[in-house]
Amino acid sequence: MNTPHTNTGLAVEASGIVKRYGEVTALDGLDLAVPTGTVLGLLGPNGAGKTTAVSVLTTLISPDSGWARVAGLDVVAEPQRVRSLIGLSGQYAAVDEHLTATENLEMIGCLYGMTRREARKRAEDLIEQFRLTDSAHRPLKTFSGGMRRRIDLAGALLADPPVLFLDEPTTGLDPRSRGELWDAIRNRVADGTTVVLTTQYLEEADQLANEIVVIDHGRAIARGTSQELKRHVGGEHLDVHLARPEDIGRVESIVASVASGAVRIVADEALVSVPVASGVDALSSVLNDLQAANIDVVDIGLRRPTLDDVFMELTGHAAEVEGAS
């Protein structure tokens, strides 16, 4: 399981990673390559293996076979050195709610081997960077979810690691808090940090990732930039927003006649979406059929594919936005 000793210019690389739990294969020959100073987005349905991949890369668990290297170091042979060069922020804020923001960060700094003075200075700098100065001396149990996530991310950045792993960092946050964390991540990347990001939010990968790897059943089933993956789906998509959700079943049958792929239904938005090969002709045909069936629509139109469409095409279902993976 030794890593090849080559200078590749990659901050993170893995080859043939396998991890099994009894009869369950969580990772099944996963390959990854992340150039220094870029963001890799790991996408996949719940249980796809994203969090297991991060756990291997951050030395929390060992692979059964294959190899992985982070910052040029083998994660199995040199785990302590790897840990000194990475930051990890998970789905659940790894902070003590009874301590203040400053105390939490100082404690993390001491765990990294900093002196108390060094840890306090670094904590103060990060608290200012994350716009939490007014709350620095409040216990974290009084913080909002978004504020806790910012402190958790600050903790991952305390030792100024060259490689940062973010496992579902914005799950459950409101759009404003999510946007603030996105800005913080962009700032780190601009300073040269390499980021591996797992996320359930396709918009997040679209906004942040230089390259996206879609994982399903422990294997990478697609990889490329956001635009490359969207071109993989190709064509246009026809969206029908209905006035009455109870009409979804009938509309699904109507659009199926012009579909070039799977029909996607978003029930809480009364939306039926379908890829089409001939956009204008498909739109005209569906409009005629809707009128003949006396089905009212709020809006209907054509659009270019999104990462949601890519996810649906590759995994067979829409992205989920709750739970762990």
Whether 268 and 179 share a structural domain: no
pLDDT at 321 over 70: no
- DSSP result, 235-252: SEEEEEEES-GGGHHHHH
Query: pLDDT tens across 113-149, in order?
Result: 899 999 999 999 999 988 899 999 999 999 988 888 8
Whether 28 and 146 share a structural domain: yes
Range of the domain at 285: 235-304
C-alpha span between 168 and 149 (Å, rounded): 11
Name the residue type at position 178: R
Cβ neighbors of 177 (< 8 A, separation 6 or more) are: 144, 145, 146, 147, 149, 150, 170
Establish if 220 belongs to a structural domain: yes
End-to-end CA distance of the chain: 26
CB atoms within 10 A of CB 251: 25
Whether 19 and 95 share a structural domain: yes
Q: Give kind and range of the element (H or E) at residue 124.
A: helix 116-129
Confidence grade of residue 239 (pLDDT, cut at 50, 70, 90): very high
Q: How many domains does the chain have?
A: 2
DSSP 3-state assignment of 115? coil
Cβ neighbors of 115 (< 8 A, separation 6 or more) are: none
Question: What's the predicted TM-score (pTM) here?
Answer: 0.79
Whether 74 and 163 share a structural domain: yes
pLDDT at 17 over 90: yes
C-alpha span between 102 and 42 (Å, rounded): 32
Whether 114 and 222 share a structural domain: yes
- Which CATH number belongs to the domain containing residue 255 in this structure? 3.30.70.100
- Which CATH number belongs to the domain containing residue 90 in this structure? 3.40.50.300
Query: pLDDT tens across 20-58, in order?
Result: 999 999 999 999 999 999 999 998 888 889 999 999 999
- Quote helix, strand, coil % in the chain, to nearest 5: 40, 25, 35
Residue 318: per-residue pLDDT:
61
Name the residue type at position 181: L
Question: For the chain, what's the residue count?
Answer: 325
Q: Give kind and range of the element (H or E) at residue 224.
A: strand 219-224
Query: pLDDT tens across 157-172, in order?
Result: 898 899 999 988 887 7
C-alpha span between 125 and 302 (Å, rounded): 48
Whether 197 and 282 share a structural domain: no
